[in-house]
A and B are shown apart, each in its own frame.
Chain A
């Protein structure tokens, strides 16, 4: 019988990565560092028990493709629309200036021409996953500096995709070759890009509206979509990742992308772990890793300081406040894992030796470690340095306010229970956001146009963030699932008012203990009411008839209301919106 765990290298990688990851976690380091270290430990540098062949290589490839798919999924044009102009300026300037700086540093350190080129192209990127992850954890991703950073990273990512495609092409002889290849790549990418955007406009909304209600089919169809583009990209001799990225972009524009993002993330995390480990595996030995150790430290320091000032200058020039410029810049000082990706590709193509990859790895490890702490304490650092940075303040700095939900009311699940209360909530809190897992409910809310809506299962982190659960003043949950309500109660602000629903008395009591303000128990309510009616029927027939007449009028009025609104029959049915699996 073939063995799948004992014999598989990647199984060893997963287990060791967990151990190293748990250790790293104790010192507050990001998991990516642990994964790269895992590769270094298991590879030629230390124990040399794992090779990057067969399944390991496949999984690393898949991890990379999924990472770019996920990156594409995060590229929602409407998220960065309002600050698109300044962000494009910043990102463009940053790419040019940082490439120049990286080029200079590499040249000064005495690398040869091809190596300088690779290093310069590789070290310019910010570490999108790290920055996004840390900022999200700190809840700053939707702040102004956060948005600027994300916008800049997206532009960089597009740049990255072009660079990757360039490296993946064979035979890069002279300048003319590069220019032709670049031209072909751009044309190819535009074709696939146009196809992807056109389908996101005309095909995908209909397609996904149908499948989004079924969680499993939804995921598989999305993955199939990614693989379709991967196959097309392979067919066009482009890198598979370019295809994955474009597939992601076309899905990102759909209203269902938030939940999808959360479903793809774990698959990506699983494979990307293998990918980062293979980077460590590719370094030939301790000598290769440490061949350029002092150059790596010098370059890291120069690039961190230099990149900060480049970003600060660019953001400040766009007229943002000093604080925004400072925070936006200090978040972006590390050399990203993308430098390793570019490096790994260049190694594959024979453009560099493994010692240059070792140099890049050292730089990445070093700058990531430093910047994790820097981002974590960004506000404290700013508070210390503020007096000095005041000098950059100028008149007419832009207001940094961004539109996002705040002090709003959230309703989880759009059904006959929540629907009644929404007007009250609107009157009180101004803005109401409805989270629902069913496309027909979301359509209905959108058609009515009175409340905001987020499609997705409340269980997913991204969905909760999109609705800004932490900033809500009032949350009403019509889910009777205890785990959902427990997650809700542990995440809302302490002073928010929370109404939840429960089916069982035990659940209700547990939810009260966790801080719910009121637990709706519809079955018990109905039982009580029904008992009263039945008693009236036996004792006082007139009172009975009066009571039911009122209720019947209410049901009919509700039906009339929804008919007036939609011209058809009432679309909401009785079952709660989320948790349909």
Chain B
């Protein structure tokens, strides 16, 4: 028996390994390829005996557990503030549409519980995947670009919605009583998780006395305990796993070890989950194909469209709105979890289950591909759609003195931008700031004489800022597309651009930039100077430290170290 199980796991992992090689070759997320691996090996029945299905459920538990662990409470509020409007708009417009379509399908194909199935369908449409979308935008999120930040906020919001949905669907009946008691339990679990975070986990760490392995095993025990409790009161294991994740603290001496350990185990079980879910799909029947196609269509086209409009409504420029939305067009891994939970409960129609999995594979695999076409789509669709409105919006939100001449244009109002504004005001030189993050609008109004709130990739904000009369343009943004846009303006002004590498700097200098700052070169130079100063014995490190701390204080007093600014 055990031997067969090992062979089953071997088949599963070798297939997953091979297809993840393919994914890696094209720089795609491995997740749709795991599911695809499952589709391929699923025809051999020995691959998915009951035990493997149980392991797959542990995969779900670990995925959600990790999500719970990563949750940073200090950040939740500001993240939700970014996302709440757009995500709610999308939820309230796309949700009902998808629900209606789902209900129509249920009616058409004669599902047993059309209401529940309609709910599953709409959940699959509305939610987007943080694992896949987050991977696509990894660099942008890391660099804290506006659209990366927006997209990851929406992902986060969606994941929370998914957990709430899971809480509701595990109710025995769709009555107010049953749902209220589920929600009550959910809140109770979170409270216990938080309590443990405060008081229980530190005790564990103290008892483990520096042994990372024990903290790791202890963390898994916490997961087990919460899962068992969730099962005991009839909640979804996802809620238990989420609460358990919240109970884990990520600080202290073993934090790195424990985090690495849980990540490894989660990757292992997660792969089993994704392959298994693919293996549960048989050759699609026509009705499955139709539903999958409609679902994929809604997710792939309607979702980004509504998101884009919602972001624009909120005040973001069209490009940022579009770029953020273009990573929100795939079925969420949480939708897969909802689907498999519903399958285990026996409340989802088989055809719908298969349709959701297929749509997930297609949309997850297409997201990165779609990103490559983003500029084309933007030009052809979005620019036309919102063209006239764009310059009007820029006018509304900008403040530029019409007589400006021989002024400096500063692109980006982050830390560098603020420093520049301060310095220019000190020498009494006129300037215009261009910024695309509406969150900084209040700051701009309060601190800058002239500013333009708009997208530096389109021409109008530059015109508005009077680029043809400016004597200097300073960019604090190291995005290559932006630098190229500035060069393409063919202004007479001197151009101080910024790039992330000397490679790119050389190209930009060749293309006509007056000067290019490369942060790493500046820092490297400073580093060498300091190292030399210490090695020659001239300056003791303690003196450097004291001096630097004093500088930091001065900078902080000027108050330009905010969460939103990267540049």
Q: Which residues of A contact B (CB under 8 A)?
A: 1-6, 8, 11, 14-15, 17-18, 21-22, 25-26, 31, 54-55, 57-58, 61-62, 65, 207, 210-211, 214, 216-217, 219-221, 223-225, 227-228, 230-231, 234, 240, 262-267, 269-270, 273, 415-421, 424-425, 428, 459-461, 476, 483, 487, 490, 497, 499, 501, 504-506, 508-509, 512, 516-535, 537-539, 548, 551-552, 554-556, 558-559, 569-570, 572-575, 580-581
Q: Does the CB pair B549–A555 fall under 8 Å? A: no
Give 19 new A-B contacts, CB below 8 A, not counting A31-B217, A210-B21: A3-B231, A25-B211, A62-B9, A223-B17, A224-B14, A227-B17, A264-B264, A266-B261, A266-B265, A505-B552, A520-B526, A530-B420, A531-B420, A537-B494, A551-B521, A552-B509, A555-B509, A555-B521, A574-B501
Asked if A538 contacts B522 (CB within 8 A), the reply is no
A-B residue pairs in contact (CB < 8 Å), sample of 14: A21-B218, A54-B51, A416-B524, A417-B527, A490-B253, A497-B541, A520-B523, A523-B416, A523-B567, A534-B408, A535-B423, A537-B408, A538-B472, A555-B516
Closest Cβ neighbor of A264 among chain B residues = B264
Chain B residues within an 8 Å CB radius of A65: 6
Instruction: Flag if B6 contacts A538 (CB, 8 Å).
Output: no
In the complex the two chains form, is B10's CB within 8 Å of A416's CB?
no
A-B contact count (CB 8 A): 345
With A217-B30, A559-B506 as given contacts, are A240 and B253 in contact (CB-CB < 8 Å)? no
Q: How far is the CA of A525 from the CA of B79 in the complex (A)?
A: 29
Contact among A15, A267, A425 for B531, CB-based, below 8 A: A425
Contact, CB under 8 Å: A17 / B520: no
A220 touches B17 (CB 8 A): yes
B213 at the interface (CB under 8 A from A): yes
Cα A109 to Cα B220 in complex, Å, equals 43
B13 at interface by CB-CB < 8 Å: yes
Enumerate the 5 nearest inter-chain pairs by beta-carbon distance, A residue then B residue, closest first: A224-B17, A266-B261, A574-B500, A5-B227, A416-B520
**Shortest beta-carbon distance from A450 to chain B in Å:** 17
Which residue of A497, A530, A569, A570 contacts B476 across the interface (Cβ within 8 Å)?
A530
A504-B561, A535-B423 known; A518+B552 contact, CB < 8 A:
no
Asked whether, in the complex, the Cβ of A421 is within 8 Å of the Cβ of B264, the reply is no
B residues within 8 A CB of A15?
A: 221, 224-225
The answer on a CB contact under 8 Å between B517 and A416 is: no
Tell whether, in the assembled complex, residue B211 and residue A533 are in contact, meaning their CB atoms are under 8 Å apart: no
Q: How far is the CA of A460 from the CA of B182 in the complex (A)?
A: 41
Within 8 A of A (CB), among B215-243: 216-218, 220-221, 224-225, 227-228, 230-232, 237, 240
Is B18's CB within 8 Å of the partner chain A?
yes
Contact A231 B267 (CB under 8 A): no
Alpha-carbon distance A486/B218, docked complex (angstroms):
23
Enumerate chain B interface residues (CB-CB to A < 8 A): 1-3, 5-7, 9-11, 13-14, 16-18, 20-21, 23-25, 30, 50-51, 53-55, 57-58, 61, 138, 204, 207-209, 211-214, 216-218, 220-221, 224-225, 227-228, 230-232, 237, 240, 253, 255-257, 259-262, 264-265, 267-268, 271, 341, 344-345, 408, 415-416, 418-420, 422-424, 426-427, 429, 471-472, 474, 476, 478, 494, 496, 498-506, 509, 514-528, 530-532, 534-535, 541, 544-545, 548-549, 552, 555-556, 561, 566-567
A26 to B210, CA, bound (A): 11
Whether the Cβ atoms of A533 and B515 lie closer than 8 Å is: yes
Q: Is there contact, CB below 8 Å, between B500 and A25?
A: no
CB of A573 within 8 A of CB of B503, answer: yes
B217 in contact with A420 (CB, 8 Å): no
Cβ A554 vs Cβ B525 within 8 A: yes
Name the distance in Å between B352's Cβ and chain A's nearest Cβ: 18
What secondary structure prevails in chain B residues at the interface with A?
helix
Most buried by A among B240, B472, B566: B472
B521: chain A residues at CB < 8 Å are 416, 420, 551, 554-555, 558
Q: Which residue of A lies closest to B253 (CB)?
A: A490
Closest to A491 in B: B253
A130 to B27, CA, bound (A): 40
Are A505 and B555 in touch, CB under 8 angstroms? yes
Interface centre among A267, A528, A537, A556 (most CB of B within 10 A): A537
In the bound complex, CA of A25 to CA of B502 (Å): 53
Judging by beta carbons under 8 Å apart, are B523 and A18 in contact? no
Residue of B with least CB distance to A235: B7
Tell me how far the C-beta of B28 lies from the nearest C-beta in chain A, rounded to whole angstroms.
10
Given A234-B3, A509-B552: A534 and B518 within 8 A (CB)? Answer: no
User: Which residues of B are found within 8 Å of A534, using beta-carbon distances?
Assistant: 408, 420, 423-424, 472, 474, 496
**Complex Cα gap A366–B253 (Å):** 31
Q: Are A539's CB and B23's CB within 8 A? A: no
Residues of chain A lying within 8 A (CB to CB) of residue B341: 1
Instruction: Among A418, A428, A523, A580, find the residue whose CB has the most chain B CB atoms closer than 10 A.
Output: A523
Docked CA distance A349–B55 (Å): 28
Chain B residues in 8 Å Cβ range of A490: 253
A420 touches B528 (CB 8 A): yes
User: Given B54, B211, B478, which contacts A2 in the complex, CB threshold below 8 Å?
Assistant: B54
Residue on B with the closest CB to A487? B256
Q: With a CB–CB cut-off of 8 A, which chain B residues contact A535? A: 423-424, 426-427
The answer to whether A420 and B265 have CB atoms under 8 Å apart is: no
Q: A230 near B213 (CB under 8 angstroms)? A: no
If A8-B54, A31-B213, A416-B501 touch, whether A538 touches B518 (CB-CB below 8 Å) is: no
Q: A14 and B220 in contact (CB under 8 A), knowing A55-B54, A230-B10, A240-B6? A: yes
Within the assembled complex, what's the spacing in Å between the Cα atoms of A186 and B417? Answer: 70
Whether A4 contacts B531 by the Cβ 8 Å rule is no
Which A residue's beta carbon lies closest to that of B53? A2
Cβ of B526 and Cβ of A530 under 8 Å apart? no
Q: Is the CB of B228 within 8 A of A6?
A: yes
Q: How far is the CA of A574 from the CA of B478 in the complex (A)?
A: 10
User: A482 CB to closest chain B CB, in angstroms?
Assistant: 11
Q: Are B265 and A214 in contact (CB under 8 A)?
A: no
- Cβ of A420 and Cβ of B524 under 8 Å apart? yes
* Nearest-neighbor residue (CB-CB) of A517 within chain B: B541
Known interface pairs A14-B224, A210-B25, A221-B17. Does A525 touch B415 (Cβ–Cβ under 8 Å)? no
Chain B residues, Cβ within 8 Å of A22: 204, 207-208, 214, 218
Shortest CB-to-CB span from A498 to chain B, Å, is: 9
Q: For the complex, give the distance between the alpha carbons of A444 and B209 in Å.
A: 41
Is there an interface contact between A420 and B255, defined as CB atoms closer than 8 Å? no
A270 & B218 in contact (Cβ 8 Å cutoff): no
Q: Which chain A residues lie closer than 8 Å to B516 at the CB level?
A: 552, 555
Task: Please determine whether A58 and B30 come into contact, CB atoms closer than 8 angstroms.
Answer: no
Contact A551 B515 (CB under 8 A): yes
Determine the residue in chain A with the shortest Cβ distance to B499: A574
Q: Residues of A contacting B1 with CB < 8 Å?
A: 54, 57
CB <8 Å contact, A267 and B524: no
> How long is the Cα–Cα vector from A217 to B20 in the complex, in angstroms?
6
Question: In the complex where A270-B265, A459-B260 touch, is A58 in contact with B506 (Cβ < 8 A)?
Answer: no
A234 B7 Cβ-Cβ under 8 A: yes
Q: Which residues of A are found within 8 Å of B14, using beta-carbon distances?
A: 224, 227-228, 231
A-side contacts of B527, CB under 8 Å: 417-418, 420-421, 476, 499, 520
Residues in B neighbouring A219, C-beta threshold 8 A? 264, 267-268
Cα–Cα distance between A58 and B552 once the two chains are bound (Å): 57
Contact residue among A26, A266, A460, A508 (Cβ-Cβ distance under 8 Å from B216) = A266
Interchain CB contact under 8 A, A4 and B502: no
Whether B494 and A555, one on each chain, are in contact in the complex, defined by CB atoms closer than 8 angstroms, is: no
Instruction: Give chain A nearest CB distance to B509 CB in angstroms.
Output: 6
CB distance from A148 to the nearest CB of B (A): 26
CB of B158 to closest CB in A, whole Å: 21
Question: Which residues of the other chain, A, contact B2 by a CB distance below 8 angstroms?
Answer: 57-58, 61
In the bound complex, do residue A555 and residue B506 qualify as a contact, i.e. CB atoms below 8 Å apart?
yes
Q: A210-B25, A522-B520, A530-B476 are in contact. Are A1 and B427 (CB under 8 A)?
A: no
CB contacts (< 8 Å) of A210 on chain B: these are 21, 24-25
User: A residues within 8 A CB of B555?
Assistant: 505, 524
Q: CA A497 – CA B541 in complex, angstroms?
A: 9
Could you tell me if A267 and B265 are in contact, using CB atoms closer than 8 angstroms?
yes
